[in-house]
Amino acid sequence: MELFALFYTAGGLLFRQPMQYVSKNGVLNVNITVEATDFVVDWLQLPRRSYDSQIPGPTWRIKAGDQINLRLVRITRPGGMMITMMQNDENMDQKLLYHWQVPQ
């Protein structure tokens, strides 16, 4: 049975199923941009992190033994909520590479 990709939340707002990244031939290559964004629910504006301009972030579909390669770009803005590893420069965009091997 296939799940619905769209449904309505209690507040009546449309919710989209998160984007999915699926491993292929034992490898999952993911590029994600994370940035601060204002998420509006009815009259309330909430500062949140978005992932490739989406809230919520993507779902990763992996299997035992897969290798994960993540390229993460963190975009910061002056006065924004994004916390960076370089505390002295709030305007610094960071490109970080991560590699994991999922245990068998």
Question: At which residue do the structure tokens 């290798």 appear?
Answer: 67
What does the pLDDT read at residue 81?
46
For the chain, give every domain's residue range.
Answer: 20-101
* Spatial distance between the Cα atoms of 49 and 37, rounded to a whole number of angstroms: 6
* Spatial distance between the Cα atoms of 65 and 68, rounded to a whole number of angstroms: 10
Q: Where are the beta strands (DSSP E) in the chain?
A: 6-8, 14-16, 20-22, 27-41, 44-51, 59-61, 67-75, 94-101
pTM above 0.75, yes or no: no
Residue 4 has pLDDT above 60, yes or no: no
Residue 15 has pLDDT above 50, yes or no: yes
Candidate CATH numbers 2.30.40.10, 3.40.50.1220, 3.40.50.10140, 2.60.40.420; the one for domain 20-101: 2.60.40.420
- One-letter amino acid at 96 equals L
What does the pLDDT read at residue 1?
33
Average pLDDT value over all residues in the chain: 76
Residue 24 has pLDDT above 50, yes or no: yes
What does the pLDDT read at residue 62?
96
What does the pLDDT read at residue 78?
54
* Spatial distance between the Cα atoms of 49 and 72, rounded to a whole number of angstroms: 13
CA–CA–CA angle 5, 102, 82 (5° rounding): 65
What does the pLDDT read at residue 14?
62
> DSSP character for 41?
E
pLDDT tens for each residue of 48-93: 888 888 888 899 999 999 999 999 998 766 554 444 444 444 555 7
